[in-house]
Amino acid sequence: MSIKGKAYIAGAYEHPLRKAPDKTVAQLHYEVAMGALADAGLSKSDVDGYFCAGDAPGLGAFSMAEYMGLKLRHVDSTDTGGSAYLVHVSHAAQAIAAGKCNVALITLAGRPRSEGSSGLVPRNFGPAPDAPFELPFGSVTVNRYGVSAMRHMYQYGTTSEQLAWVKVAASQHAQHNPNAMLRDVVTVEDVLSSPMISDPLHRLDCCVVSDGGGALVVVSPEVMRSLNRPRIKLLGAGEAPKHLNGGKMDLTLSAAAWSGPTAFAEAGVKPADIKYVSIYDSFTITVVIQIEDLGFCEKGQGGRFVADGNLISGVGKLPFNTDGGGLCNNHPADRGGMTKVIEAVRQLRGEAHPAVQVKNCNLALAQGTGGSLGTRHCSATLIMERE
């Protein structure tokens, strides 16, 4: 069974706040849920499927279902880190296609900025079997991406200047987003002269830490036809985990190399057909590696591909993250997948900021990797079409 054409994204909402010290995480989940439902023209009582990940407080999906008063016949709390919300869109489409629900609500929210999260502090994921062999070595988010970047540079000749272009493109877009956390346009030189956090990643190679959240509403074709919103149809999806494989691994590769082809095959389209991409940009290197693995350029050529403004809307061949992405706009709950889908929906609807709106944007891809490129992650790819 394919999800192609079986479900639509009817609602999308990004919380406008980037710092929310006076709101609880549950409250933020509620606010984004109501925002996405209002965007779709639906109400809480229409929801019969609910999806959330590890950022939702409490046990699985039940605590938030109770808090919001949802009456459900389908729940899914799959957690793949920051890519979970792309996985949820795919799982929601599967559930809708199987008749398990008609209106699926997906929420994400968190307050890492108010709570003092940092890419230099170990995050405790419980008694994982790998932990005793990793925590003693100071394995933290930023160096787990640093090692992938260093190997990519060694193997393919990628440079810090090329990585910096990813941030430059994001900042060009963020200047038009009034809610973006960082709205100043930066240059390659600005990135290279920012402090080195963990080789070869400078401060401006890293995404922001922000509070907030987002939500999506995925619906059946019947429900979509009853709504007065542009029809954003799901064409294909892929998901795949990658890990250290018993000590035999390639850290220049992401699992997008597997989730991407699955999604393209289901959608029946090629990378060259895609008009806009949202790519999870936890760090600049994350974008370069995923662009290669999705087939937008040859493996190892990602650095050259992103250079000279090739990701800037209206300038380059592959406009990306036109909201400013995680590098400049928003990275709520330290999980970047949700905002990737939201901006892809804006582009397909023609509702992105006019300065960054891609012309005739009828086909878009959203891509995320949750976890870390340098250890273990789960990649998720979504391909969507404006009907």
Partner 1 sequence: MSLAYKDRKIAAPSISPDTKAFWDGCAAGKLLLKQCEKCQELHYYPRPSCPFCGHGETKWIESKGTGTIYTYSVTRRVEVPYCFAFVTLDEGVTMMTNIADCDLDSVRIGQRVRVVFKPTDGGPPVPMFTPA
Which residues contact partner 1 (rule: CB under 8 A)?
120, 127, 129-140, 142-144, 146-151, 154, 195-201, 244-249, 251, 375
The encoded tokens of residue 265 equal 């095959």
| Distance in Å, CB of 262 to partner 1, minimum | 23
Q: 163 or 169, CB closer to partner 1?
A: 163
Taking every pair of C-alpha atoms in the chain, what is the biggest distance, in angstroms? 56
**233 neighbors 226 (Cβ within 8 angstroms):** no
How many Å separate Cα 25 from the centre of its chain?
A: 19
Task: Bin 212: left if φ > 0, else alpha if -120 < ψ < 50, else beta.
Answer: left
d(CA 25, CA 58): 11
- Provide, rounded to whole angstroms, the least separation between the CB of residue 136 and partner 1: 4
- By the 8 A CB rule, do 336 and 207 touch? yes
Please count the residues of the chain: 387
Burial class (CB in 10 A: 0-12, 13-18, 19+), 295: middle
Residue closer to partner 1 by CB (options 71, 123) is 123
Shortest CB 379 distance to partner 1, Å: 20
Residue 246 vs 354, nearer CB to partner 1: 246
State which residue, 116 or 127, has the beta carbon closest to partner 1.
127
CA proximity to 365, closest of 190, 236, 193, 258: 236
Our CB check for partner 1 shows the closer of 16 and 122 to be 122
Shorter beta-carbon distance to partner 1: residue 88 or 152: 152
- Determine the straight-line distance between the first and last CA of the chain, rounded to whole angstroms: 21
- Could you tell me the smallest distance in angstroms from the CB atom of residue 148 to partner 1? 7
> Which helix (H) or strand (E) element contains residue 67?
helix 62-68
Nearer to partner 1, 120 or 265 (CB): 120
Pairing of strands 49-51, 103-110: parallel
Write down the least CB distance from residue 191 to partner 1, Å: 16
Residues 6 or more apart whose CB falls under 8 angstroms from that of 243 comprise 249, 375, 376
Residue 170 CB, shortest distance to partner 1, in Å, is 21
Distance, CA of 57 to CA of 61 (rounded, Å): 9
Rounded to the nearest whole angstrom, what is the least distance from the CB of residue 283 to partner 1 in the complex?
11
Residue (69 or 246) nearer to partner 1, CB: 246
CB of 126 to partner 1, least distance (A): 11
